[in-house]
Structure 1
Amino acid sequence: MSTRSDIQALALAACLALPGAVFTQSLPEDLDAYIEDVRSEWRVAGLSISVVKDGAVVYAKGFGDRERGSGLAVDEHTLFAIGSNTKAFTAAGLGILVDDGKLSWDDRVIDHLPWFRLKEPYVTREITVRDILSHRSGLGRRGDSNWYASDFDREEIVRRIRHLEPNSSFRSQAGYQNTMFLTAGLVIEAVTGESWDTWIKHRILQPLGMTRSRTSVLELEGMDNVATPHAILDDEVVVVPHRNIDNIGPAGSILSSALEMTYWMRAMLGEGAFEETRIVSENVVSEVWKSNIIYPLPPSYTKLFPSTHFSTYGLGWGLRDYRGRLVATHTGGIDGMLSQILLLPEEELGIVVLTNTSPSGSLAQSTVTFHIVDAYLGASGETDWRAAFRELGESQKKQQVETRQKRDASRVADTTPTLALDAYAGKYEDTMYGALSFSIKGDALVLRRHSDWIADLEHWHFDTFLARWRDPVMGESLVSFRIAANGKVSSVDVEGLAEFERQ
C-alpha cells in the first residue's frame, strides 16, 4: 500500500559525519533565511523549530503557515503532532514506575498483562518491558494496518498481535514495532490504574509546564494556533485531515509545540530534571540511552554519513554517533505531520523540528537539524546538507517511479475476470486484521474494512483488481482473488495487509 511514506527510514538520518576540531558553540549565521529557503524548496507549509544549549533556549521560531495560504503564521507555540517521538514519553512514564519501585525494566510483560500473547509461546513467556521498548520482539515493522485508520481499540489491537508471524527470532535483530509500544502503555495502565493519557499528563506534561501539549487530536477542538496537516499528492501540496491515532496512543499520539518540547529536551539533557522539577532519576535517563539492539542503517545513509560507527536503539530512543559525540534521537510521522528530535548530551545541545507536510518535511527537518549541529561542532560548511538531502530525495522519488513502472509493466493486457463480479462479492476475514467485505456498486466492486478503509476497484488483470482508497493518503493496493478447484472464490490477498479467507 502506497500510503504512508517510509518516514522511519527517512528519519534515521540522525547519524554522523567527520570529526570536528574547532567548536564555535553558536548558531549558524543567517539561520532564519536558511530555514525559510529550505522550507520553501521542500514545499513545507509550516515549520517550527527550537534549540536548547547549556540548559537554556537559544532559538525558537516558526516559519510558513499553519495551513497553506491561510496567512496564519506558524510560531514557536503552534501545536504539531510529534508522532513516534511519543515513544520516549512512554519509556519515561515506565521509568517513573521503576523509580517508584512498582516495576522493573526486566519484568515480564505477562506479569502485568496476564492475557498478553504472541505467536511463539516461548516469547510470550519471556518478553520483558525492556524488550517491548527496544524493538527486539522479532515481529518487525508489520501489523500497523491493524491500528491505522481502524476501529479496533487499544486492547483489541494488542490481543490480535498473537496472530502475527515473527519475521526474526526473538532478540536477534531490530524490527520497528508500534504495537509493542502500545503494549508498554497498557502496562502503565495495569500498574497505575490510570489511563496512559492521564499518567503522561499528570506525571510528565503538567510538571514540565507543557500545558498546551495534548495526547489526542480529539482534544484540539476549540484550541487555537494548531498546525493543519498537509501531504504532497500527485505533486500538489494539499490539506489532509488530522489522523486520529488514539488507539495506538502510547506509540505516537502526542501533540506539542517547539517551545514546550524545549522543556522536555532540557529535562532529558538535565539527567531527568528541568529547573526545580525532577521527572525521572538520573538512572532512568542512563537506562533509556543504553543500547539494547543494533539498528542497521540503510546504504543511502552510510553514504550520506560515511563515518558512522554505530546505530542502536535504547528505550524509546535511537542512539548513534556524530562527529565523535553520542546522539539520542528519534523522528515521528503521521499523516501530514513529521517531527525530529536530536540531542547531544555531551554538548548539552538539543534540537527539535516540527513540520506539517509529508513526505518532504522529513528531508527539510534533517537538513536544518544537521546544519545547526555542524555549527555548534565547528564544522559549518563541511557538508552542504541542502544538496545532500536534495540528492537523497531525488533518489527516493526515482525509486518510487521505478517501482510503479515495474508494477504497471507487469500488467497483462486484454484479460477478464474468471467469474462474474457478484461471485467476488461477500465477506472475508483474517484472524489478525479482522473482516472486510466486497459489494457491487454500479458495475464495479467496492472494498470496505472498518469505517475508513473504503476503496473502489477497477479490473487490473485476471482475478486481480486495483483498489483506489477513497482516503487519498492511503494510495492504491492490488487485490488478488484466489479461485479454488470448485470454481469458487476461496480467499483474497490485499497488498500490504494479508490473505483473507472467504466466509
Structure 2
Amino acid sequence: MKASVVVLFILTQSVFAQVNTKSLDKYFSQALDDWEVPGMAVAVVKDGEIIFAKGYGVLEVNKKKKVDEHSNFAIASNTKAFISASLAHLVWEGKISWDDKVVKYLPYFALYDAYATQNATIRDLLSHRLGLGTYSGDVIWYKSEYSAEEVIKHIKYVPQAYDFRAGYGYSNLMFITAGEVIKSVTGMAWDEFIQKHFLNQLKMDRTVMSVNDLPKMDNIASPHKTINEKITPIPWTNWDNMGAAGGIISNVNDMSKWMIMQMNNGLNGTDTLFSPIVQVDMWTPHNNYKVSLASQKNMPSKHFNGYGLGWGLSDYQGRKMVNHGGGYDGIYSKLTMIPEEHLGVVVLTNAMTGIATSITMKAIDEILDSGDRDWSKEALPGAKRYADYKKKRIAKKVEARVEGTSPSSPLESFVGEYYDEFYGQVNVALEEDHLVIDFVPAPKLKADLSHWHNNTFKLEWKEIHAWFGFGTLQFMYDNNNEVTGIEFDVPNYDIFFEEIHLKKM
C-alpha cells in the first residue's frame, strides 16, 4: 500500500514537472485583470489526477473574500451533461432506450405539430434537433413561478424554426423535458437522481442543485453584471423550474471529479455509473452545424462542430474535444475535455464575459505543448467589439425616440388583463399617475411604464435583470381606436419577449 502511494506521488509530480504551472498561474492572473472579471476558479485534470486547481480574484467585487478551488459558482448549462448521464444510466440498466418516444413517459408533451410530437425521442431531446430556435421559449420559464411540467405544457405554442431533425436550435426547454422523463421513469426528481447516482458516488460534497441551498453554505461567488460601465453584484436568480437545463451549482474541485469519471468511461473506481457503450452514444455527434469562416480563421485545425447527447463536440489539432459552456445570470462556466489525452479543464467565473475560452485553450496548449498563442490577448478586441455592438443596438433605439408625442387614448384605456397562450396572463394597472405591468407567471418581471413616444412605453424594471435592461412595449389598436394588445421590444440575445403576443381580454 505504501509503495503504491509513493508511485502515485511520483507520477503526479512527473505531470507537474512537465507543465509550467507558474507560467499558467501568471497568465490566468493577468487575464483576470485584462477581462475585468471579479473572480475565477480554474482546475486541470490529467491522467486521472487534479494537477492544477486554484482561485483568482474575489467572490464579490469590492469585498475581500478570495475565490479558491472550493468556491461555488453556477455551472448553468453544464448541468445538461448530468441529465444525459442520468438517462445514460437508465439506458445502461435497460429501463429506457434512447429511441423511446417522449410521449411514452410524458403524455402531455407536445410540439408544434402532431408528427413531431409523436415521433420525438429521448435522443432528440438531448441533441437540439427538434425544430425549435435557439433559446426560443426561454421567456416562458425565466423568473416565472411555473413548474417544470407547466413550462413543458406551453412548449406546443413555441414556433417551429426549422424542419424536424433538420437543423440545430439550442433548446433549454427540451432538457427541462428530459428532467421530467427521469422523474416519470424512476419516481425521483432529476436532482434527487443525480444526488444519489453521481454526486454521492463521486463525493461531490459541495455541489447543490438549487439556490435555496446557498444560505446555509459559505464560500459562494456572487453574480455580476456590468451596469453603466461598472461591474455590479446582482442577486442569485432561482432557476428551479428549469433546473434540469441549468440549475447545478458547483466548484472546480467537485467538477474535476466529474471530468475524471467522464474520461474513465463512466467508471468511478470499481463502480460503474454508466457503461462505456452508452458514453459512446453521448460523445457521438447527433447534430452537426457549420464551422464559421471566423471560427476557421481563429482555429484552423477545427474541422467540425457537433452536438452529442448533452455535450458539444469538435476537434483541436487532430484530437476530439468534448465540451460545454454555461451561462447563468451573472456567472459563466466552461468545461472541456480531450479524452484521448485524459485531459480536462474547467473554468468558473462570476462575470458575463468570454474569458473562459481563452483560459481553457491556454491550459490545453501548455499541457499538450501544442502552441504558444496568447488566446486572451487575441480574444479581447473581439469581446470589446461585441460589447460595443450591443451598446449601439440600444443607442439606435434610443435615438429613434420621437419627442413631444402623446398616447392615442387616456392611460385608463390601457388598463386591463392581457393574455397569450404561449406565455400566460399579463396585467396592466394604473398606479397614481403611471401604468404598471405585471407578468402574472413571473412577478419579478414587474415594471413601471414611462411614456416613450406615441403608444410606446419604456419598461422601468423593478429589479435588475442580467440578460436585458432597456426595453419598450407598444399598445396595439384596432380600426375603432380600441386597445387590442401589446407587443414587446426588449433587445437582448437570450430572453425573447418579442415571442409574447398579448391580446386584451
Are residue 476 (structure 1) and residue 470 (structure 2) matched? Answer: yes
The structure 2 residue matched to 1:460, chosen from 449, 452, 455, is: 452
Q: Residue 460 of structure 1: CA displacement?
A: 2.0
Task: Kindly report which structure 2 residues correspond to 1:66-215, keeping only aligned pairs within 5 A, or say none.
Answer: 66-141=59-134, 142-215=136-209
Deviation at 1:472, TM superposition (A): 2.0
Moved over 3 A (4+): 296-303
Question: 2: CA distance between counterparts of 1:410 and 1:101?
Answer: 60
Larger deviation, residues 90-99 vs 275-284: 275-284
Conserved 8 A contact 2:21-2:52? no
* 8 Å Cα contact 2:225/2:232 also seen in 1: yes
**In 2, are the aligned partners of 1:28 and 1:371 still within 8 Å (CA)?**
no
For the residues of structure 2 that align with 1:275 and 1:68, how far apart are their CA atoms?
40
Instruction: Name stretches of at least 5 consecutive residues in structure 2 with no aligned partner.
Output: 1-16, 490-495
Q: Match of 2:367, as an amino acid?
A: Y
1:234 aligns with 2:228: yes
Shift of 1:65: 1.1
Instruction: Return the letter of the residue paired with 1:499.
Output: H
Query: How many angstroms does 1:374 deviate by?
Result: 1.1
Per-residue deviation at 1:334?
Answer: 0.9
**Cα 1:302–1:466, aligned 2, differ >3 Å: closer, same or farther?**
farther
Match of 1:34 among 24, 27, 30: 27
Residues 245-287 of structure 1, C-alpha deviation per residue, up to 9 Å, x if partnerless? 0000110000111001011000111111133332110012111
- 2:284 matched to 1:290? yes
Contact between 1:28 and 1:380, CA under 8 Å: does it hold in 2?
A: no
Distance in 2 between the 1:188 and 1:291 partners?
23
Structure showing greater relative contact order (alpha-carbon pairs closer than 8 Å, 6 or more residues apart)? 1
Q: CA deviation at 1:29?
A: 4.6
Decide which of 387, 390, 404 is 1:397's aligned counterpart. 387
Stretch deviating more after TM superposition (174-183 or 448-457): 448-457
State percent identity of aligned pairs: 37
Aligned-partner Cα distance in 2 for 1:367–1:161 = 36
Q: Secondary structure of 2:265's match?
A: coil
Alignment partners' CA distance in 2, 1:306 and 1:380: 13
Q: Which runs of 5+ in 1 are unaligned?
A: 1-23
SS at match of 2:132: coil
Q: Secondary structure at the match of 2:446?
A: strand
Residue 302 to residue 234, structure 1, CA distance change in 2 (3 Å): farther
The CA deviation string for residues 342-373 of structure 1, in whole angstroms up to 9 with x for no partner, is 00011110000011112x2xx22111111111
Output the CA distance in 2 between the equivalents of 1:180 and 1:283. Answer: 24
- 1:399-435 CA distance string (max 9 Å, x none): 1122123222333333221111111111111102111
Distance 2:20 2:443 in 1: 48
Give me the TM-score of the superposition, normalised by structure 1: 0.92
Contact kept? 2:72, 2:221, Cα under 8 Å: yes
Amino acid at match of 2:463: D
RMSD in angstroms over aligned alpha carbons? 1.5
The CA distance in 2 between the partners of 1:116 and 1:457, in whole Å, is 36
Q: Deviations 1:151-196 (Å, cap 9, x if unpaired)?
A: 1111000011111111111111010100100100000000001111
Distance in 1 between residues matched to 2:348 and 2:235, nearest whole Å: 17
Amino acid at match of 2:464: P
State whether residues 25 and 377 of structure 1, in contact with CA within 8 Å, keep that contact through their aligned partners in structure 2.
Answer: no
Normalised by the length of structure 2, the TM-score is 0.92
Structure 2: which amino acid aligns with 1:502?
Answer: K
Q: CA deviation at 1:297?
A: 4.9
Does 241-250 or 35-44 show the bigger shift? Answer: 35-44
Matched letter for residue 321 of structure 2: V
Cα distance in structure 1, aligned partners of 2:409 and 2:276: 66
What is the Cα deviation at residue 494 of structure 1? 1.9
Residue 212 (structure 2) aligned to one of 208, 218, 226: 218
Is 1:261 the counterpart of 2:255? The answer is: yes
Q: Distance in 1 between matches of 2:377 and 2:34?
A: 11
CA distance in 1 between partners of 2:301 and 2:435 (Å): 52
What is the deviation of 1:27?
A: 4.4
2:57 equivalent to 1:64:
yes
Q: Give the stretch that moved more between structures: 294-303 or 470-479.
A: 294-303
Quick check: 2:291–2:303 contact (8 Å CA) kept in 1? no
1:70 deviation in Å?
2.1
The alignment partner of 1:57 has SS state of strand
One-letter code aligned to 1:103: I
Distance in 2 between the 1:53 and 1:333 partners?
26
